[in-house]
Copies of this chain bind each other. A is one copy, B any other.
């Protein structure tokens, strides 16, 4: 005990890069995720919740030449009898656990297996502004379906999801591209086998979003002076060699037929390229058959995010409405979700190739978009606060909150030291309370209660003239028996 007293007090601090979420921050996210789960469920996807902890072996992030696992994950060694147990880690995404789960349970799971998962993931990375080391992901994947009908389904589901959470039609666009078409372009350029040249081209394409057509052309050929004045070496292709890549990236036409024709020109007679184009055509047909026109889902070869990672179709959901950035400039809200086909998910474990396709929603970004659009049904409103005028009559006040709650109204009795009434009103203010209830000895004797409309009171205090103040009282005296009815009336008026 004496020892403890000497020890310095621990610091009350969130670990670096982590944060706490309060009240509406929690409930708004949870409500959004519930709505998303509802759509996924309707599409036949089943929930999966794997544990936060995986063996490093299963996660596959263990570097063979170092004692400690990869810095990107939070990992530790289990202490067994010899003090040297397995390495464990927190999952860094929801896809690696899906691979482990599918390989482990594949005999019990249906094939194809449609599953969704939502929950936190952890990254042991340098935190930055708005970048945390724990954040939510929300994924849906179909494992074991080779047909691009599975990709088309993900796209229409994504469209339904965005509308269900509150993004109106016209404010988003799901854009679809295909890695196979790009492979066809590379084949047409004679780069099918040159791994290094291919990788260079892929890396360059990845910058299309930032540097645009001319930038990509420069980077593919002679190099480019970037905005900071630094010179970036080019890949060293000729202008003629760069042409098919540029043709691919800029092939989007007024309609799908036009785009597909442009792509055919870019891939020449490459078999894989033509197969990729046929896949895009099928996806366009399938979503169209379900009523999803190009105002919701469109073929757009300028989507490059993930082209290096995925093996077939890739998709991206973009919110097209405009917001003001930190510097006050208008820009499109941008991407909130992306995904695609990756066909070697389970191979690490079983040696067997299993086709898979899926999508991941950026939970925090989508939530930010909904807040931007005023589309979150905020639970931020505080409770009705029943104040305590006479601490011996706590039972009376508790009876009032019970009545209010039974009527479905959020309500609480003030539980701090009731001596200073001003503190009670300050508390109500801090709680964003819409209404305060007051029942002192005089009210009790007369069978009435005082009801303060705190929202109206605040408005009047801010703006009103003395005349208005008198005309629009924000405090009402009602019979005790009318408490619930009057509170409901005030809340409805505030709504």
- Interface of A with B (CB < 8 Å)? 3, 7, 9-15, 18-27, 30, 34, 37, 41-44, 46-55, 57-58, 60, 64, 68, 71, 74-76, 79, 86, 88, 90, 99-101, 103-105, 110-112, 114, 120, 122, 133-134, 142, 144-147, 149-150, 152-153, 156, 160, 282, 285-286, 288-291, 348-351, 379, 382-383, 385, 391, 394-396, 398-399, 401-402, 405, 408-413, 415-417, 427, 430-431
Contact = CB atoms under 8 A, between A and B. Distances in A.
Contacts of A395: 285-286, 288-289
Copies in the complex: 2
Contacts of A48: 20-23, 26
A146 B55 CA distance: 45
B71 A74 contact: no
Given A51-B14, A416-B112, A74 B88 contact: yes
A402 B156 contact: yes
Given A101-B20, A399-B289, A415 B51 contact: no
A101 B394 CA distance: 29
A79 B431 CA distance: 41
A413 B46 CA distance: 15
18 contacts: A9-B351, A12-B58, A12-B101, A21-B47, A21-B48, A21-B49, A25-B49, A43-B383, A44-B410, A52-B52, A52-B90, A52-B120, A53-B133, A53-B134, A76-B76, A110-B430, A112-B416, A156-B402
Contact of A54 (B15, B34, B74, B382): B15
> Interface on chain A toward B: helix, strand, loop, or mixed SS?
mixed
Contacts of A349: 9-12
B415 A147 contact: yes
Contacts of A44: 382-383, 385, 410-412, 431
5 closest A-B pairs (Cβ-Cβ)?
A: A44-B412, A12-B103, A76-B76, A289-B395, A26-B47
A286 B12 contact: no
Nearest to A112: B415
A394 B149 contact: yes
Contacts of A74: 53, 76, 88
Given A52-B52, A74-B88, A289-B399, A413 B13 contact: no
B20 A105 contact: yes
Contact of A290 (B30, B402, B410, B430): B402
B58 A398 contact: no
A167 B64 CA distance: 53
A25 to B, nearest CB: 8
A111 B416 contact: yes
B144 A416 contact: yes
Contacts of A120: 52
A58 B13 contact: yes
Contacts of A53: 15, 18, 74, 90, 122, 133-134
Contacts of A21: 47-50
A57 B11 contact: yes
Contact of A52 (B114, B134, B285): B134
Contact of A152 (B42, B144, B396, B398): B398
A123 to B, nearest CB: 11
Query: Most B CB atoms within 10 A — which of A25, A74, A160?
Result: A74
Nearest to A416: B112
A352 B27 CA distance: 31
Nearest to A132: B51
A286 B79 CA distance: 50
B412 A43 contact: yes
A35 to B, nearest CB: 12
Nearest to A386: B44
Contacts of A401: 290
B379 A41 contact: yes
Given A52-B134, A282-B394, 20 more contacts: A9-B348, A9-B350, A12-B104, A12-B349, A14-B54, A14-B104, A20-B101, A21-B49, A30-B34, A51-B134, A52-B52, A53-B74, A75-B76, A110-B431, A111-B416, A145-B415, A149-B398, A290-B402, A291-B399, A291-B402
Contacts of A399: 289-291
Contact of A153 (B37, B112, B415): B415
Nearest to A433: B44
A25 B152 CA distance: 28
Contacts of A90: 52-53
B15 A86 contact: yes
A74 B54 CA distance: 13
